[in-house]
């Protein structure tokens, strides 16, 4: 039973690391960004509502995002644990997550933060723009996403640090090396906090 979050700035490789971590800890990865993108491309009601926010690099409103996560966290496949990627990003979302988990009788075990400097993140975004052509990977939109991360999501990260459940890892370097570092850091943290 492991309930994890992964938090990192845009371009930090959060999505890639989330997949590796989820496999290692044997829990499903839930990415709000992926859920939104998939709804946008299928043109569902949620997708139509979310599209303009994604394209502008803005946060989808908390009300919409919270409802989506509340629903998803009730699913059976997540009862034995999960890795949330991309949520929470705002202080109200973090409060909502606490309340969702409390109502399910659980709480977070650890929060993994990937750290990387802005200049490196922007370079990676340029590479990703060529490979994947994501509509929010343009210089202007990317800078806005980064700004939101450094301001609003920073507060979320500080909150978890204050609770003593934050595990921070240097997100620069080889993806494989970062995965190894992240797994070791989270395992050590869980072993210590569970008194093993």
> Which residues here bind ligand ADP, judged by CB under 6 A?
10, 14, 32-33, 36, 53-54, 57-60, 65, 86-89, 93, 136, 145
Residue nearest to ligand ADP according to CB distances in the complex: 33
Name the maximum alpha-carbon separation found in the chain. 48
Nearest to 20 by CA among 192, 175, 191, 187: 175
Asked if 144 contacts 58 with a C-beta cutoff of 8 angstroms, the reply is yes
Nearer to ligand ADP, 175 or 184 (CB): 175
Nearer to ligand ADP, 44 or 184 (CB): 44
Q: Would the CA dihedral through 91, 20, 16, 61 be positive or negative?
A: negative
CA atoms lying within 13 Å on the CB side of residue 126: 5
Spatial distance between the Cα atoms of 123 and 183, rounded to a whole number of angstroms: 25
Taking the complex as a whole, how short is the minimal distance between the CB of residue 33 and ligand ADP, in angstroms?
Answer: 2
End-to-end CA distance of the chain: 15
CB-wise, 117 or 193, nearer to ligand ADP? 117
Secondary structure element (H or E) that encloses residue 120, with its range: helix 118-132
User: Cβ closer to ligand ADP: 59 or 95?
Assistant: 59
CB of 75 to ligand ADP, least distance (A): 18
For the bound state, the minimum distance from the C-beta of residue 184 to ligand ADP, rounded and expressed in Å, comes to: 23
Binding residues for AMP are 32, 37, 58-60, 86-89, 93, 134, 145
Binding residues are 11-16, 32, 37, 58-60, 86-89, 93, 128, 134, 145, 173
């Amino acid at each position: 039973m492991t309930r994890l979050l992964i938090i990192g700035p845009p371009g930090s490789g959060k999505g890639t690391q989330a997949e590796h971590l989820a496999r290692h800890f044997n829990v499903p990865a839930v990415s709000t960004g992926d859920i939104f993108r998939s709804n946008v491309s299928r043109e569902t009601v949620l997708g139509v509502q979310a599209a303009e926010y994604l394209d502008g690099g803005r946060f989808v409103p908390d009300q919409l995002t919270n409802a989506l996560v509340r629903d998803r966290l009730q699913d059976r496949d997540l009862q034995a644990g999960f890795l949330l990627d991309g949520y929470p990003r705002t202080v109200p979302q973090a409060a909502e997550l606490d309340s969702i988990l409390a109502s399910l009788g659980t709480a977070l075990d650890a929060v993994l933060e990937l750290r990387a400097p802005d200049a490196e993140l922007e370079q990676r975004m340029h590479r990703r723009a060529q490979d994947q052509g994501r509509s929010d990977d343009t210089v202007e939109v990317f800078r806005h996403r980064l700004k939101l991360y450094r301001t609003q999501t920073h507060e979320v990260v500080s909150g978890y640090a204050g609770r003593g459940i934050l595990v921070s890892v240097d997100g620069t370097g080889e993806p494989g090396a970062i995965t190894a570092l992240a797994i070791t850091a989270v395992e050590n943290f869980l072993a210590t906090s569970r008194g093993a």
